Amino acid sequence: MAPAAIIDSATEAAHSAIQTTASALAGRPRILVPEKVSAEGLALLREHYDVDTCTGLSPEELISIIPSYHGLIVRSETKVTADVLAAGSSKLRVVARAGVGVDNIDVNAATQHGIIVVNSPSGNIVAAAEHTVALLLASARNVGRADSSLKSGKWERSKLVGVEVGHKTLGIIGLGKVGMKVARMAIGLGMKVVALDPYASPEMAKQAGVSLVENHKLEELLPVVDFLTIHTPLLASTLNLLGEKEFQMMKKTARVLNVARGGVYNEEALLKALDGGWIAGAGIDVFTSEPPEENSMAARLAAHPKVVSTPHLGASTVEAQENVSMDVCTQVLEILRGGLPTAAVNAPLILPEEYRRLQPFVKLVEKMGSLYTQHFARSPHPPHHRHSSMLGGRRFELVYTGELANISNTRPLYAALVKGLVSPISDASGGNVNMVNATLIARERGIAIDEKHVRDHSPSTATYASQVTLRSVSESEHNNNPSSNAAQVIEGYVSGRSVFISKLDRFSANFHPEGTLLVLHNYDQPGKIGNVGMVLGRHSINITFMQVASLDDEAEQTQTQTQTQKQTQTPVVDGPVQPEGQKAAKEALMILGVDGDVTRDVIDDLAKAEGILDVSLVRL
Ligand SMILES: NC(=O)c1ccc[n+]([C@@H]2O[C@H](COP(=O)([O-])OP(=O)(O)OC[C@H]3O[C@@H](n4cnc5c(N)ncnc54)[C@H](O)[C@@H]3O)[C@@H](O)[C@H]2O)c1
Ligand SMILES: O=C(O)[C@H](O)COP(=O)(O)O
């Protein structure tokens, strides 16, 4: 069978990775396994390749030996840095993560070198959920402290009285694969489960008996829970998600759990919360440094008497290790033979002949999806944009006009949209989406996508040779009022091989969807640009470009009508409320390209600037 090509839409380097693999592997290929990976999968590889298992390598040792290897299989301990990948780039074809999280692998550097990164997205989900339940019960019943007390010769029954979990409320932040499993197990223990996940499908949550927090606000979840568990990836948006302010909102009797990633709870704030009696205890499996560095917050947390701690054991069961080992070793075997992986982190699949024509559109649609999630599907939103769900439970329509409408196989564009939508909320960059699994992942997330080819795009009226429109409405809007014009819209086009966004929401624009962008919804009045410039200057953020996007014609007419209605005291159903004295101002979007560290403080300060209605931070 001829080797198929695998192409990462971000770079052409990955294009040749699979094609060249078979021919590049003269002699018996070698695979390095610097961590404990279950023997079942490795046995599969040993039939064809030399497999070297050697644990305890220093970063320098890894860099010095990696040039001899064609495959590298790791868990969470080995840091696969840009330096390791550069050192291995002449032979290395695949880095496999025997587990879920790829935060220890520089995926961008791998992509640049044409090295495929694969993982096992669901092999250890049951293990992680069961470990969460183990920590839930251990922290409720002081199992860790009781065990060490008894072993040290004490018999402290009255000091170690616990609490029951039955009839208590468990809060879950992140209702993905692990979060959903934990929810089902907790319901089995007689708990009530409330979850916060702006991107989860309300329908799936309802079916599992989980209530979703309506407005996706932590302040609505935290005061009501007796136990809290987090199951989000570690992303810029989830780093330090819970700090002092959040722990202070919780019941003094509450206990918190973390079997996801160190850093989602701010470790210093968690220590303060435990020492100050703001909460009662914690069960922690993951830390910001692993193993915790001496005297670090992580080390103090692991040693804290109110914490039951485990050394990142969430996936450490015999069964999970067999699953992930088989998953990734099968993929390594396939890749080194010139075949296709099933869970490639950095490589959606496009056949070579489709690649030339579709690649810029794949890039455009992926950017549109990512822009959608970061601009529209984020929390919290101003009231006129608030939806019960932000991603799951929404219906998307991709409309292709112009020459693109004549291409019948637009499957890569469908996959690119799913990838773009889920990548900002997933730790495997791109959420492991490829052409094979895109439909399944969309279904798992409760996302419906329709594609429409508009072939009667007359050249006289066409603005661009090919254009893509992304529209989204909630399932309920779609079912109850299909002709409603409440859709969220993004339009884009390709010129040469460059991609552009030509409409965002109700605003006509023209910008490259690249880099870090701030999108500010505001009233188009003098002084706004200066105010925004001052805030950014104060935070040492450099502006690389700026564009003001005005309401498109249709939206402008609607705004004028709305203003007329307001003046005649007719109740207004949609649109932001204009402050006094700004009745004649038109809405606009200010789109800024920026360099620098855009923290939550920057966003908060921008949101407070006069005349700014809403701010979103978009990384593309
Ligand atoms: N301790 C361990 O050994 C162990 C084992 C397995 C998984 N994990 C970790 O657990 C985490 C979850 O894994 P998964 O497979 O369930 O991932 P997943 O991608 O299936 O689910 C993550 C969920 O988080 C949600 N989310 C993203 N950003 C959010 C935000 N700001 N607020 C609320 N929700 C948000 C997403 O919508 C998604 O539903 C990952 O970090 C993974 O690495 C740890
Ligand atoms: O992301 C994962 O799969 C878990 O954190 C497990 O990590 P491990 O393979 O190092 O146990």
Distance 406 CA to ligand 2 centre (A): 45
Number of neighbouring beta carbons within 10 Å of residue 139: 26
Residue 14, H or E segment:
none
Q: Is the CB of 76 under 6 A from ligand 2?
A: yes
Residue 24 binned pLDDT confidence (cut-offs 50, 70, 90) = very low
- Nearest-angstrom CA–CA distance, 413 and 221: 37
Does residue 214 surpass a pLDDT of 60? yes
* The CATH number of the domain covering residues in 361-502: 3.30.1330.90
Torsion angle defined by CA atoms of residues 600, 604, 609 and 610, in that order, rounded to the nearest 10 degrees: 150
- Among 209-213, 335-339, 524-528, 600-604, whose mean pLDDT is lowest? 524-528
**Whole-angstrom Cα distance, residue 19 to residue 409?**
22
Q: In the predicted model, what is the mean pLDDT of the chain?
A: 86
First to last CA, the chain: 37
pLDDT, tens digit (0-9, with 9 covering 90-100), for 305-318 = 999 999 999 999 99
If pLDDT is split at 50, 70 and 90, which confidence band does 409 have?
confident
Ligand 1 and 38: CB distance under 6 A: no
What percent of the chain stands above pLDDT 70? 83
Residues 304, 310: contact at Cβ < 8 Å? no
**What burial letters (b/e) apply to 531-562, b meaning 16+ CB within 10 Å?**
bbeebbeebebebeeeeebbbbeebeebbeeb
Identify the residue whose C-alpha is closest to ligand 1 atom 2.
314
pLDDT of residue 403: 86
Residue 462 has pLDDT above 80, yes or no: no
- Tell me, using a 6 A CB cutoff, whether residue 75 lines ligand 2: yes
Architecture of domain 506-567+575-620: 2-Layer Sandwich (3.30)
Q: Is 314 in the pocket of ligand 1 (CB under 6 A)?
A: yes
pLDDT reading at 14 higher than 50:
no
CA 608 to centroid of ligand 2, rounded, Å: 40
506-557 pLDDT per residue, tens: 999 999 999 999 999 988 777 778 889 999 999 999 999 999 998 887 766 6
CA of 35, closest atom in ligand 2: 10
Is the CB of residue 200 below 6 angstroms from any atom belonging to ligand 1? yes
Q: Are 380 and 216 in contact (CB under 8 A)?
A: yes
Q: 262 pLDDT exceeds 80?
A: yes
**Which own/partner pairs from 291-300 qualify as long-range (CB within 8 Å, at least 24 positions apart)?**
297/267, 297/268, 297/271, 298/262, 298/267, 300/271
CATH superfamily of domain region 125-309 = NAD(P)-binding Rossmann-like Domain (3.40.50.720)
Protein residue whose Cα sits closest to atom 7 of ligand 2: 76
Give the residue-averaged pLDDT of 271-293: 97
- Give the ligand whose atoms come closest to the C-alpha of residue 316: 2
| Banded pLDDT at 1 (limits 50, 70, 90) | very low
Rounded to the nearest angstrom, the distance between the alpha carbon of 508 and the centre of ligand 1 is: 35
Whether 122 lines ligand 2, by a CB cut-off of 6 Å, is: no
Helices (H), ranges, 6-114: 15-24, 39-46, 59-65, 82-88, 107-112
CA angle centred on 157, ends 152 and 163, rounded to 5°:
115
User: Which residues lie closer than 8 Å to 93 by C-beta, 6 or more apart?
Assistant: 17, 21, 24, 25, 70, 71, 115, 116, 335, 336
Statement: residue 2 has pLDDT above 50: no
Ligand 1 contact, 101 CB (< 6 A): yes
Would you state the pLDDT for residue 352?
A: 53
Total count of residues recorded for the chain: 620
The DSSP secondary-structure symbol of 487 reads: -
Question: Residues 123-156: pLDDT tens digits?
Answer: 999 999 999 999 999 999 999 999 999 999 999 9
Report strand pairing: 587-595 vs 516-523. Answer: antiparallel
Q: Where are the domains of the chain?
A: 3-122+320-336, 125-309, 361-502, 506-567+575-620
Distance 227 CA to ligand 1 centre (A): 18
Q: Quick one: average pLDDT of 254-276?
A: 98
- The answer, yes or no, to whether residue 257 has pLDDT greater than 90, is yes
> How far, CA to CA in Å, does 304 sit from each of 146, 155, 189, 513, 524?
14, 20, 27, 46, 53
| 70 classed as catalytic | no
3-122+320-336 against 125-309: fold identical: yes
What is the sign of the dihedral through the CA atoms of 103, 105, 108 and 114? negative
Give 99 Cα–ligand 2 centroid separation in angstroms: 5
For residue 381, the model assigns a pLDDT of 44
Does pLDDT of 500 surpass 50? yes
For residues 457 and 401, the answer to whether their CB atoms sit within 8 Å is: yes
Q: How confident is the model at residue 174 (pLDDT cuts 50, 70, 90)?
A: very high
- Candidate CATH numbers 3.40.50.1110, 3.40.50.720, 3.40.50.970, 2.60.40.10; the one for domain 3-122+320-336: 3.40.50.720
Residue type, 123: G
b/e map of 577-602 (b: 16 or more CB within 10 Å)? Answer: ebeeeeeebebbbbbbbbeeebeeeb
Answer whether residue 18 shows pLDDT above 90.
no
Of 178, 421, 423, 619, the one to substitute when testing ligand 1's pocket (max ligand atoms within 8 A of C-beta) is 178
- Average pLDDT for 401-414: 86
Model pLDDT, residue 482 = 61
The span from the CA of 427 to the CA of 345, in Å, is: 10
Is residue 215 within 8 A of residue 386, CB to CB? The reply is yes
Give the residue, 311 or 446, on which the prediction is more confident.
Answer: 311
